[in-house]
Amino acid sequence: MTDTLLIGCDGSDSAKRALELAAAQAKVSHAKVIVAHIIEWSPYTFLTQEEIAERHKRRQEEMTRAEAHITAPIVDTLTQQGIQAEGIIQYGNIAKSLCAISKDKQVKQIFIGRTGEDSISDRLFGTVSNTLAQVSPVPVTVVP
């Protein structure tokens, strides 16, 4: 059975570097790559009436946009390089969603980029890469 690698993509430069690293590794080990884009979402935030009425439409739009601009181009590039790739778009907490996909798809390793910022809110609430390092069921590679 071939290994599966998971890459968290958000369109940032560091995510691209994470992708390159993962692609290089996938080529060598003939691993399959899952390109995941998670849209930050909490089912407990407050929505106004109109936002509720428009939610399904917006979700549709956000998914289409994310696929067109983030996951689909990456999957195409990987396929051209001869790597078996699959795109996933999900809503939720980024770290938790990546962990859930890892368990679901029996992923061997997760690759993500980090923002490298050091803001107060990051210190208080933690970053995605930090959280993932804490809770991930599989090894995590954080690319600067």
Partner 1 sequence: MTVLKSGLASFFIWLLPLALYAAEPSGIDQFIEQNIAPYTNQFVSFIFYAVNIGDAKFPLIVGWLALAAAIFTVYFGFIQLRGFRHAVALVSGKYSNPNDSGEVSHFQALTTALSGTVGLGNIAGVAVAISIGGPGATFWMILVGFFSMASKFVECTLAVKYRTENADGTISGGPMYTLSKGLAEKGMPTLGKFLAVFFSICCVLGALGAGNMFQSNQATLQIVNIMGGSESWIGQNRWVIGAIFAVLVGIVIIGGIKSIAKVTEKVVPVMAGIYLTAAAVVIFMNLEAVPAAFGLIIDGAFTGEGVVGGVIGVMIQGFKRATFSNEAGIGSAAIAHSAVRTKEPMTEGLVSLLEPFIDTVIICTMTALVIVITGLHANPDGLGGVALTSAAFESSMPWFKYVLAVAVVLFAFSTMISWSYYGSKAWTYLFGENKASDFIFKSIFCTFVVIGSAMSLGTVIDFSDAAIFAMSIANIIGCYLLLSVVKKEAESYFARLKSGEIRRYK
Q: What are the residues binding partner 1 (CB under 8 A)?
A: 39, 41, 43-57, 59-60, 62-63, 90-92, 100
Which CB sits closer to partner 1, 50 or 117? 50
CA atoms within 13 A on the CB side of 87: 20
33 or 38, CB closer to partner 1? Answer: 38
- Residue 50 CB, shortest distance to partner 1, in Å, is 6
CB of 29 to partner 1, least distance (A): 30
Q: Considering the complex, what minimum distance in angstroms separates the CB of residue 37 from partner 1? A: 12
In three-state secondary structure terms, 6 is strand
Judged by beta carbon, residue 48 or residue 80, the one nearer partner 1 is 48
Q: Which residues of 53-78 are buried (b: 16+ CB within 10 A; e: fewer)?
A: eeeeeeeeeebeebbeebbeebbeeb
Residue 54 or 76 with smaller CB distance to partner 1:
54
Let me know if 91 is exposed, middle or buried by CB neighbors in 10 A (0-12, 13-18, 19+): middle
Q: Which two tokens stand for residue 20?
A: 């390159």
What's the min distance (Å) between Cβ of 80 and partner 1?
29
Q: Which burial class, exposed, middle or buried, applies to 87 when counting CB atoms under 10 A from its CB (0-12, 13-18, 19+)?
A: buried
